[in-house]
């Protein structure tokens, strides 16, 4: 009897401790309120005056700084001439799918003159994420950082840096990017490439009329600096390096990883990477330089280089120009692959399992026949398209997929997205029959039961041109179990899976003419788009949507739609 009483007391003390811990966490969590105003703003870039669309008149837009466990309430007011939505890239959005932001997937757009308030909580994520417009090509100038610090009285799993800085990569057009994509959509041709790349909204001093705005990151000898890299570019992956310095990678996509040292990074659009840099070089100026990783043969790209400067104190008056790092060749897939292989979770992970849903999804570009009576400017008079499992995704236009699913509106989508390609073939062959080049345009989703474990083989194809695709899944992080080249072969490639410490990502680089395997548990109800983060490809239809049913209890049930949810 005494033993039982003692056990009950111990159990009660444990419960009290857990309750006090949860109370402490709740008390220390904050709610951050922000007003975002989409507006037209005059700027000068590349020797010319331009009017661009910005958030709060800034390029990049406002940086949001919060702690793990905090909540955000962001009122977005549209004072521009285009529709807009905002996506909080990489945020899990647990039970708050209405705040995810992709146009016509989780909401209708915010019309000019309208507004919408995004409300969500950050749960269990730390590091660097970002936010961006998810309508047309507004993302070209409407984006910003979302930095998530550890909870109060918690620390990084690495030595605290002396300072930190953002390095946000972007693209610049000398014309309105929305008109660029509209022109391409009308003609069926590939859109015009950008005129420059940028770091923190500035092209850098290798471009005309750009030296005064070049980003300068100050440093002192012997410091450790945390650099937060974000690739916010629309259509380009980047190699990045710092002259005279190595980088210790400590995190990616708001998840910590086993530290590893590298002289070069490769980031696809959507990806973030946190690195530590020790300033141990002779005092001076050192370029932080980025240029394209162009994996697709025969596809036009901008070969220029954007720069920022890491400047030691006392070096500002020197006459010597900054040192330039050695960057990999534009098509150096070996370098890109070696960098990706360095990412592993900080500690051994408990993988969700067993797998309930095995999916095999092909990813690639294709061509569509030109509609009768029109002239198209794609190859051979066609128009470009892209697809997953041979279905080129078409967004609804009168209601979002999430609203249609929640309110039972028929005719908006079908639930028959195939779990395997409709036709199996040699996906990475050099001469794929042109009978396989034309996808089917449709709005198809794949339904998932709450709590099911999903494993996806993403298989690149070599139709038109094989390419490295940064594939992003909304609403979820996933484990990257393996990547490889050629056609995935379960018998040969499954033994290569990393089941111990695979990296946790929200955007995976699908190797050129290769494959990647990801796994996640469908524990977040809602409608979640998975798409290539090269905006030219999502414009062409390289996307699909998972619809995850409700579970049980507050953590498994989608919250009701906000009263101010925009109408179409």
**349: closest CA among 260, 262, 255?**
255
Q: Walk along the chain (568 residues) and give the pLDDT tens digit of each residue.
A: 444 334 334 333 433 333 434 444 445 789 999 999 999 999 999 999 999 999 999 999 999 999 999 999 999 999 999 999 999 999 999 999 999 999 999 999 999 999 999 999 999 999 999 999 999 999 999 999 999 999 999 999 999 999 999 999 999 999 999 999 999 999 999 999 999 999 999 999 999 999 999 999 999 999 999 999 999 999 999 999 999 999 999 999 999 999 999 999 999 999 999 999 999 999 999 999 999 999 998 899 999 999 999 999 876 656 789 999 999 999 999 999 999 999 999 999 999 999 999 999 999 999 999 999 899 999 999 999 999 999 999 999 999 999 999 999 999 999 999 999 999 999 999 989 988 999 999 999 999 999 999 999 999 999 999 999 999 999 999 999 999 999 999 999 999 999 999 999 999 999 999 999 999 999 999 999 999 999 999 999 999 999 999 998 888 999 999 999 999 9
Domains (ranges, CATH) in the chain? 24-154 (2.60.40.420), 158-345 (2.60.40.420), 357-548 (2.60.40.420)
Query: Beta-carbon neighbour count of residue 4 at 10 Å?
Result: 8
pLDDT score of 314: 78
CB-CB contact of 475 with 100 (8 Å)? yes
SS3 17: helix
What tokens does 503 get? 């990296």
Which position has the token pair 């300068």? 216
DSSP 207-258: STT-GGG--EEEE-TT-EEEEEEEE--SS-EEEEEETT--EEEEEETTEEEE
pLDDT score of 27: 55
> What whole-number distance in Å separates Cα of residue 543 and Cα of residue 525?
19
Q: List, edge to edge, every strand of the sheet that includes 543-548.
A: 445-448, 543-548, 526-532, 469-473, 507-510
> What whole-number distance in Å separates Cα of residue 472 and Cα of residue 105?
15
User: Which residues have a Cβ under 8 Å from the Cβ of 553 and sit 6 or more positions away?
Assistant: none
């Amino acid at each position: 009897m005494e033993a039982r009483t003692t056990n009950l007391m111990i159990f009660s003390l444990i419960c009290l401790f857990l309750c006090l811990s949860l109370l402490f966490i709740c008390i220390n969590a904050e709610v951050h309120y922000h007003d975002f105003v989409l507006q037209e703003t005059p700027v000068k870039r590349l020797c010319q005056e331009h009017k661009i669309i910005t958030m709060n008149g800034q390029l990049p837009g406002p940086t949001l700084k919060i702690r793990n466990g905090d909540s955000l309430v962001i009122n977005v007011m549209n004072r521009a001439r285009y529709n807009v939505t905002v996506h909080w890239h990489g945020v899990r959005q647990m039970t708050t799918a209405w705040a995810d932001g992709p146009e016509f997937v989780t909401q209708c757009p915010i019309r000019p003159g309208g507004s919408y308030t995004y409300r969500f909580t950050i749960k269990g994520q730390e590091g660097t994420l970002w936010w961006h417009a998810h309508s047309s090509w507004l993302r070209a100038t409407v984006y910003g950082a979302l930095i998530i610090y550890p909870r109060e009285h918690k620390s990084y799993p690495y030595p605290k840096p002396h300072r930190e800085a953002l390095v946000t990569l972007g693209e610049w057009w000398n014309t309105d990017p929305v008109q660029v994509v509209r022109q391409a959509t009308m003609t069926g041709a590939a859109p015009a490439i950008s005129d420059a790349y940028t770091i923190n909204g500035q092209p850098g001093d290798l471009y005309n009329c750009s030296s005064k705005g070049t980003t300068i990151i100050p440093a002192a000898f012997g410091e450790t600096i945390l650099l937060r890299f974000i690739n916010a570019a629309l259509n380009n992956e980047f190699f990045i390096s710092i002259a005279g310095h190595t980088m210790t990678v400590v995190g990616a996509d708001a998840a910590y990883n086993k530290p590893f040292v590298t002289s070069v990074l490769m980031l696809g659009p959507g990806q973030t990477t946190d690195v530590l840099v020790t300033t141990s070089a002779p005092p001076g100026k050192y370029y932080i330089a980025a240029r394209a990783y162009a994996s697709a043969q025969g596809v036009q790209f901008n070969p220029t280089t954007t720069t920022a400067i890491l400047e030691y104190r006392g070096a500002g008056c020197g006459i010597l120009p900054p040192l330039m790092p050695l960057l990999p060749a534009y098509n150096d897939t070996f370098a890109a692959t070696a960098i990706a292989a360095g990412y592993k979770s900080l500690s051994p992970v408990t993988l969700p399992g067993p797998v309930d849903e095995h999916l095999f999804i092909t990813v690639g570009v294709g061509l569509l026949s030109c509609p009768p009576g029109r002239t198209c400017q794609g190859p051979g008079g066609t128009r470009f398209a892209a697809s997953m499992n041979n279905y080129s995704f078409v967004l609804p236009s009168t209601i979002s997929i999430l609203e249609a699913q929640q309110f039972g509106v028929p005719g908006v989508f079908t639930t028959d997205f195939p779990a395997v390609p409709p036709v199996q073939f040699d996906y990475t062959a050099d001469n794929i029959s042109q009978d396989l080049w034309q996808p089917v345009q449709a709005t198809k989703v794949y339904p998932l039961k709450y709590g099911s474990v999903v494993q996806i083989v993403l298989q690149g194809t070599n139709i038109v041109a094989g390419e490295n695709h940064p594939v992003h899944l909304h609403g979820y992080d996933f484990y990257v179990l393996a990547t490889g080249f050629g056609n995935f072969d379960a018998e040969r490639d499954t033994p290569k899976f990393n089941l111990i410490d695979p990296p946790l990502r929200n955007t995976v680089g699908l190797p050129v003419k290769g494959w990647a395997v990801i796994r996640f548990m469908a524990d977040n109800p809602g409608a979640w788009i998975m798409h290539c983060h090269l905006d030219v490809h999502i414009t062409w239809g390289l996307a699909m949507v998972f619809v995850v049913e409700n579970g049980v209890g507050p953590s498994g049930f989608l919250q009701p739609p906000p009263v101010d949810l925009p109408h179409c």
